[in-house]
Amino acid sequence: MNADAAAIFAPLRDEPRAVGAFNAILLEHAEAIVAGAEQAGLPVILQISQNAIRYHGSLEPFAVACLRLAAGASVPVLVHLDHIEDRRLVGEGLALGIRSIMFDAATLGYEANIAVTREVTGRCHAAGCWVEAELGEIGGKDGAHAPGVRTDPAEAAGFVAATGVDSLAVAVGSSHAMAGRDAVLDDELIGALAAAVPVPLVLHGSSGVPDDGIRRAVARGIAKVNIGTRLNQVLTGSVRATLAERADLTDPRRYLAPGRDEVRDEVARLLRLLRVRDT
């Protein structure tokens, strides 16, 4: 079923657990994400990034497919646009019925980020759309691990008040596209941000964080955990193994189906991991 963002986040306010948000590039990703959520019996956020939109050449075909998958699911599925920098895509998403968007102006200065994000937030709220923004740098490994680019709690509180955003992605030590799982998060900073910021906190780059680190982050106040690279690793590893055993295969269904199943199982595992109260 297509989910409402507010309904997904409301139960997380008073309990140390988070919702999993997984990036889909291929239809197989999207199918596996929904199937994994159904396997776990838990809500999920199905994300489409601006990079994925660029890969497909346009937003509509893939977004419509994801919305249809969500509508047919037996658990709540929220289709969300991730790291959108192009304001034109915001309008396209709203027109298609997307009701959750992460608008990313984090590369701008603090004041410019506020001004642009406030304008986009007003536009989205008028359409009933949840808005996530980012403060701090969650980019390449070196930059995101430098103390100077971490999110400041006082700035974060001021940013949320000035923009009206519904959730905030924060820089606390993770990085996008990490091949290993050795990122060390700043647990004290996560706790300080959770105390200072009145909206749900989002951890990007979570594929590079070990399970125990994710658990601690959720226990300290992270409410949404974004995962993309990990799913690509699982899918690609499965495809490589299948083709190594069957070099004669040419039908993509024969090597993508096992990969899709492995991604489904990993999504279910990670969703259960985020229910820290059960561990």
| Residue 57 backbone class (left: φ over 0; alpha: ψ -120 to 50; beta: rest) | left
Distance, CA of 123 to CA of 100 (rounded, Å):
12
- CB environment 143-180: b (16+ within 10 A), e (fewer): ebbeeeebbbbeebbbbbebbebbbbbbbbbbbbebee
Q: CA angle, 141 as apex, 241 and 178 as ends, to 5°?
A: 15
- Whether residue 98 contacts residue 25, with contact meaning beta carbons closer than 8 Å, is answered with no
Active site residue 142: no
Q: Which amino acid is located at 238 in the chain? A: S
| Residue 119 backbone class (left: φ over 0; alpha: ψ -120 to 50; beta: rest) | alpha
- Whether residue 172 contacts residue 217, with contact meaning beta carbons closer than 8 Å, is answered with yes
Q: Which of 82, 104, 152, 186 is catalytic?
A: 82
DSSP character string of 188-252: HHHHHHHHH-SS-EEE--GGGS-HHHHHHHHHHTEEEEEE-HHHHHHHHHHHHHHHHH-TT---H
Question: In this structure, what token pair is assigned to residue 121?
Answer: 């937030």
- Pairing relation of β-strands 222-227 and 44-49? unpaired
Contacts of 192 by beta carbon, 8 Å cutoff, 6+ apart: 153
Active-site amino acid positions: 82
